[in-house]
């Protein structure tokens, strides 16, 4: 296996390069996908999907990736970042040899599936073979597919490393590596696995790193794996989506469930994603909502992969209008039309708030983010306000506020 090399600290972009890209973002408003120099099979797939204009990160990232540049994409969820790397990868692989030439690493099974769906959508006329590789599902079908040969692997680090150790796949001909949701992967402790995987790849590859935030750990990862990367940044590094309206509901802990039912009676609460801190809490909320006649389902780590997939499908199809989840669902779920995100429990990290509320107000849509705040959570809410650089209005509901 060929070993990777590391880039020097000077490889990160200059302030001048950042300013140039910021100006380029403002100039993408009238750009069409046809302006990006894409092939006809790709343009046909985009037309079939109903897409004509790229989002800012797509317009910038696709152009740079097609030129072979290493790239750091900084953007919140809902900005179209998945297409920003799937489109140029498909373009690069069109008509090439049938072997594993692209690898996308993601932190969760759900995101892995979403990326695979993106390849299916935009690569429908490409003839490329794409396989998702993650735990919690059958092992042998993955072994057979990998040994038969695939063009693109979309994987979570743990299961991929398992296949590598059993020599079910080799990565020394991979031309493009994508580290998707890099900050989340590091938060989940995948750094050792990433190191072992990348060590089995050629150093002369193209590497694309996407992240919602750029903490020092992610910057160190970029310095290690990327060569003279260009930064594409959409919005503030820690900013919340501008298409979301934020509200805090002061409420004693024992009254949260009743307040939730009261709010869900509103007609505007059409498609609602609720976050709770614990798996037990998620199941308890679902039982309470079902007792109140509100169809809902839970999604968390104690559910089997089949149960989680079914819960997501029921929510997407409208069979249930409320999905209650732990933070396993805060990133990487490509669900359109979510009208409200409710933080039943205040997240314990400010960045998690940004990721949670990013599930609504996606693309050109708008959405609402409600946060239930107990007395012992006031300090955390103030921290969130400082991080997102805005004050969140408080909404008092008679009978549910601290003083009632």
Q: What is the CATH number of the domain that holds 352?
A: 3.40.50.300
Q: How many domains does the chain have?
A: 2
User: At 102, is the secondary structure helix, strand, or coil?
Assistant: strand
Q: Establish if 277 belongs to a structural domain.
A: yes
pLDDT value for 12 = 45
pTM of the model: 0.61
Residue 404: pLDDT band (50, 70, 90) is very low
- Give yes or no: residues 193 and 94 share one domain: yes
pLDDT higher than threshold 60 for residue 396 = yes
pLDDT value for 359 = 65
pLDDT value for 235 = 56
Query: CB of 161 within 8 A of CB of 181?
Result: no
- Give yes or no: residues 29 and 105 share one domain: yes
Query: Residues 278-302: pLDDT tens digits?
Result: 889 999 999 999 999 999 999 887 8
Query: CB of 96 within 8 A of CB of 166?
Result: no
pLDDT value for 313 = 86
For 265-287, what is the mean pLDDT? 89
Of 118-122, 152-156, 256-260, 267-271, least confident by mean pLDDT is 267-271
Q: Establish if 83 belongs to a structural domain.
A: yes
How far is it, in rounded angstroms, from Cα 223 to Cα 106?
19
For 385-396, what is the mean pLDDT? 85
- Give yes or no: residues 333 and 228 share one domain: no
- Give yes or no: residues 380 and 267 share one domain: yes
Helix (H) or strand (E) holding 194: helix 191-198
- Give yes or no: residues 66 and 156 share one domain: yes
pLDDT higher than threshold 90 for residue 103 = yes
How far is it, in rounded angstroms, from Cα 57 to Cα 167?
36
For 98-114, what is the mean pLDDT? 91
Of 79-88, 148-157, 352-361, 377-386, least confident by mean pLDDT is 352-361
Of 36-40, 247-251, 330-334, 345-349, least confident by mean pLDDT is 330-334
Q: Establish if 4 belongs to a structural domain.
A: no
pLDDT value for 23 = 47
pLDDT value for 118 = 92
- Give yes or no: residues 298 and 186 share one domain: no
- % of the chain at pLDDT higher than 70: 85
pLDDT value for 21 = 46
For 196-218, what is the mean pLDDT? 89
pLDDT higher than threshold 70 for residue 321 = yes
Of 18-32, 42-56, 301-315, least confident by mean pLDDT is 18-32
How far is it, in rounded angstroms, from Cα 42 to Cα 178?
20
For 113-138, what is the mean pLDDT? 91
Residue 350: pLDDT band (50, 70, 90) is confident
- Give yes or no: residues 64 and 204 share one domain: yes
Closest CA to 314 of 332, 327, 296: 296
- Give yes or no: residues 185 and 76 share one domain: yes
Range of the domain at 42: 9-233
Query: CB of 31 within 8 A of CB of 54?
Result: yes
- Give yes or no: residues 262 and 283 share one domain: yes
Helix (H) or strand (E) holding 306: helix 305-317
Last residue of a domain, one of 233, 261, 278: 233
Q: Work out the mean pLDDT of the chain and round it to a whole number.
A: 83
Burial pattern 248-283, b for ≥16 Cβ within 10 A else e, equals: bbbbeeebbbebbbebbeeeebebbbbbbeebebbb
For 3-24, what is the mean pLDDT? 41
Query: CB of 328 within 8 A of CB of 242?
Result: no
How far is it, in rounded angstroms, from Cα 26 to Cα 64?
16
- Give yes or no: residues 50 and 158 share one domain: yes
pLDDT value for 240 = 52
Q: Establish if 276 belongs to a structural domain.
A: yes
pLDDT higher than threshold 70 for residue 24 = no
- Give yes or no: residues 171 and 224 share one domain: yes
Last residue of a domain, one of 214, 233, 252: 233
pLDDT value for 74 = 86
pLDDT value for 26 = 47
- Give yes or no: residues 205 and 304 share one domain: no
Q: Establish if 3 belongs to a structural domain.
A: no
pLDDT value for 78 = 65
């Amino acid at each position: 296996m060929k070993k990777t090399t590391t880039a020097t600290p000077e490889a990160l972009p200059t302030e001048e390069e950042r300013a140039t890209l910021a100006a380029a973002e403002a100039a993408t408003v009238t750009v069409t996908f046809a302006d990006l120099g894409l092939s006809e099979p790709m343009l046909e797939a985009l037309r079939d999907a109903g897409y004509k204009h790229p989002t800012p990160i797509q317009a910038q990232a696709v152009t740079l990736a097609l030129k072979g540049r290493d790239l750091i994409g900084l953007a919140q969820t809902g900005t179209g970042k998945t297409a920003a790397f799937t489109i140029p990868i498909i373009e690069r692989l069109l008509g090439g040899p049938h072997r594993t030439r692209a690898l996308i690493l993601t932190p969760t099974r759900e995101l892995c599936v979403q990326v695979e769906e993106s390849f299916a959508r935009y690569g429908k006329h490409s003839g490329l073979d794409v396989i998702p590789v993650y735990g919690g599902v059958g092992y042998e079908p993955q072994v057979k597919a990998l040994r038969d040969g695939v063009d693109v692997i979309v994987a979570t680090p743990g299961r991929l490393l398992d296949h590598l150790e059993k020599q079910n796949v080799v990565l020394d001909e991979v031309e493009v590596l994508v580290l998707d949701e890099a900050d989340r992967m590091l938060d989940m402790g995948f750094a050792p696995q990433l190191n072992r995987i990348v060590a089995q790849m050629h150093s002369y590859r193209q590497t694309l790193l996407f992240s919602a935030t750029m903490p020092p750990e992610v910057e160190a990862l970029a310095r290690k794996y990327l060569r003279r990367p260009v930064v594409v940044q959409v919005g503030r590094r820690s900013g919340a989506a501008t298409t979301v309206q934020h509200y805090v509901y002061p409420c004693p802990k024992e009254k949260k469930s009743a307040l939730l039912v009261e709010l869900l009676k509103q007609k505007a609460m059409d498609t609602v994603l609720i976050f709770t801190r614990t798996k037990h809490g998620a199941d308890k909320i679902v039982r309470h909502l079902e007792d109140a006649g509100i169809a809902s389902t839970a999604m968390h780590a104690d559910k089997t992969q089949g149960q989680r997939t079914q819960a997501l499908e029921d929510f997407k199809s409208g069979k249930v209008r409320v999905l209650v989840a732990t933070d396993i669902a805060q990133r990487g779920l490509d669900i359109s039309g979510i009208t409200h995100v409710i933080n039943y429990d205040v997240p314990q990290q400010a960045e998690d708030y940004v990721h949670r509320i990013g599930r609504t107000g996606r693309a050109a849509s708008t959405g609402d983010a409600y946060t239930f705040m107990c007395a012992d959570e006031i300090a955390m809410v103030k921290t969130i306000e400082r991080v997102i650089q805005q004050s969140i209005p408080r909404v008092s509901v008679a009978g549910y506020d601290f003083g009632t």
